[in-house]
Amino acid sequence: MGTRALIGIIETDAAGNQILTSTYNHYDGYPSNLGVGLNKHYDELESAKKIANMGYISFLNPETGEVEANNKENPSKDVLPDDFEEAMREVHSIADSMGADYVYLFDFDDMNWIDSKNYSTKNLVTSFEGTGIENQFEGFATFDGRPDPGEGDEMEIEEGSMNVIAKAKEALKGKENLEDYIKSLTKDVELNGQDAYADYTVDDWVEDYESNGFASYSMKEHMITKWQHRAGIIK
């Protein structure tokens, strides 16, 4: 009997959209089989992307990591809402359309697969909240380093910050390494407020983007720096 599952990664594209790339798994998709196999053999950046981009697999051997794929299909590519809970509602709907009993999403922060039963949106929210999966959604309340808003300040922090981020995304749409610039900008707004950016024009955004080196900053250099930082090699 098939225990179906969705295997997915969520990444931010150059335009700032959250994209779910997912593969359908047909047999033995429960955590003691598929979950073990994913975390044992597909727990690195490239291998996680590889399995999520396969499109269709019949079975994953948890001992060897070998994949049986009787059908060739393209992976699903779906744009998710920026809000975490709304995104999980969409993921639940996509998994439901597959008949999936489980959802597996890759946490880029901790470099592991997290599973959730696909009973409901609430189930997915509960399973993935507080993880790197939730933290990918810009403006959501659990960003690392986000201060707790004081009484009466919550709407000002969230709405003001998101307005600045939205303006930056629109002004720089299509630019290379936009995701990295937005992450840097978001952190600055969280720490120092939005006032410095309140009156930015398109030219101002482009100048800030270029002056901070994102136009020439290669993605390879970014990834090396990112993993060195996480490994404690650099501060």
Q: pLDDT of 220-231, one tens digit each?
A: 444 444 444 444
Cβ neighbours around 184 below 10 Å, total: 13
- Whether pLDDT at 7 is above 50: yes
Give pLDDT tens digits for 37-76: 999 999 999 999 999 999 999 999 999 999 999 888 899 9
Predicted confidence (pLDDT) per residue in 149-200, tens digit = 444 333 333 444 457 888 888 888 888 878 878 888 887 877 777 788 878 8
Contact 127, 121 (CB under 8 A): no
CB 9 within 8 A of CB 80: no
Question: pTM for the whole thing?
Answer: 0.61
Give the HSE-up count for residue 63: Cα atoms under 13 Å, Cβ half-sphere.
0
Query: Quick check: helix, strand or coil at residue 131?
Result: coil
